[in-house]
Amino acid sequence: MPKAAIIGNTTWGKALAALLGGKGITVKLWTRSEDEAEGLNQEAYCYSSTSYVEEALDEAELVILAVPSPKMRENVARIKDYLTDSMVLVSAAKGLEAGTGRRMTQVITEEVAPSRGQQICVLSGPNLAREIAHGLPAASIIAAHDIVIAERARGLINSPNFFLVTSDDVVGVELCGALKNVIALGAGMIDGLGLGDNAKAAFITLGWDEVVSLGLSLGAKVGTFYGLAGLGDLITTCSSTLSRNHQVGYELAKGHSLADASTLVPQVAEGVNTTLAVHQLAKTLNLSLPITNLIYSVLFEDLPLSRALSQFEKLVENHHQPWVDALR
């Protein structure tokens, strides 16, 4: 029977551990402390937990990194000495690294070794952890530069209620998962202000145009942005009350500071750091991303939402779809 290691005592990590354990895979979930491991071992019935890295990774065929993107580099550094060439590594985080703008597979590759880059996959799509933990159906994408590796990971993770398709567009799948969180922050703000679904739809449409523009400039495939990893995840994250990024945006609109809004929402809203990373990337690439800049200004420059709305209205008047030209 295959063995899998889950790195990260997160809602997503525990949902994936239960999913894999439920299909008969031997699963070890790694936690930071012995107390956490003992607590989970009393609750979980189809997987076990440990605070010892070497125990979690021993003979694992599949290693899933289900940690928040701001903690990815730190966690990979802690486990890399126990990784082997036969392991398939899967990033289940959705974010960009603040300061570098790196995608998570890039962060993992830098920490382990460039030669292992072909072993690394990314799992992304409309996969709200709480729904999957309750056995509700979902579909997502597993992507790798080597499609054979993606198929191998799919075979290990795919389940009756969690259907996976494969892709070789690692760049596009990762960018979709990370950047839809930025749009979800704005969608949450619009909901918090009570502006209605029409306004939110306009915001999402213009914001996603920017995401596609950025993705194409970084080598992603345009079709990915209209599949499960893109449009599918965007719809879920911008509409569900289970979305942490949507919740943070909502709380900001209710007058809370970013620090307070982040505290009110369980676990990490990865769109916050990703907004910072995208703002820096846009400068480096000399790209105009006015919607993203509005979100950045609200988060980090104390731009009042009333002024942000006024600026957004002007953007609607002058709307242009930058990716259309790229398709001609």
Alpha-carbon gap, residue 234 to 225, rounded angstroms? 9
Burial of 49 per CB tally in 10 Å (0-12, 13-18, 19+): buried
Residue 165 host element (H or E): strand 162-167
Helical ranges in the chain per DSSP H = 11-22, 34-43, 53-57, 72-79, 104-112, 129-133, 147-157, 170-192, 197-217, 233-239, 244-253, 258-264, 271-285, 290-300, 305-317, 322-327
Which is catalytic among the residues 14, 28, 94, 180? 180
Residue type at position 108:
I
Alpha-carbon gap, residue 58 to 5, rounded angstroms? 8
The DSSP secondary structure of 305-323, one letter per residue, reads HHHHHHHHHHHHHT---HH
Q: Is 180 a catalytic residue?
A: yes
Six-digit token string for 208: 């996603």
Location of structure tokens 């990033």: 91
What value, to the nearest 5°, has the Cα angle with vertex 45 and ends 41 and 46? Answer: 110
Alpha-carbon gap, residue 56 to 63, rounded angstroms? 9
Six-digit token string for 171: 């760049």
Which three-class secondary structure state does DSSP give residue 3?
strand
Six-digit token string for 166: 């494969």
Give catalytic residues, as residue numbers: 180
